[in-house]
Amino acid sequence: MTATSVRLQPDVEAGLASITEKLQRSRNWVINEAVREYVAKRELDDARWAETLEALEDVAAGRVVSGEAVEAWLASWGTANELPPPKVGE
């Protein structure tokens, strides 16, 4: 494990002190948890952005499912004649 020093604003320092007291955890533990959660959120954001770009490429290339096909599929849910999920080009 590496050591990193951080300068905290007074309001952040006060909030950190309050949290460590409430949780009965060390400053190190709370800061590690906060950074871990932030990194996980950023990774999720990056993955979602990559998926968005991929979806936009599919739309630009015409690889889409029509709204009518999706609506018909959804309307069939729970009926005796439930349709399979629509495919690209339908």
| pLDDT tens for the 90 residues of the chain, in order | 899 999 999 999 999 999 999 999 999 999 999 999 999 999 999 999 999 999 999 999 999 999 999 999 999 999 999 999 999 987
CA angle (51, 55, 59) in 5-degree steps: 170
Q: In angstroms, rounded to a whole number, what is the distance separating the alpha carbons of residues 46 and 38? A: 12
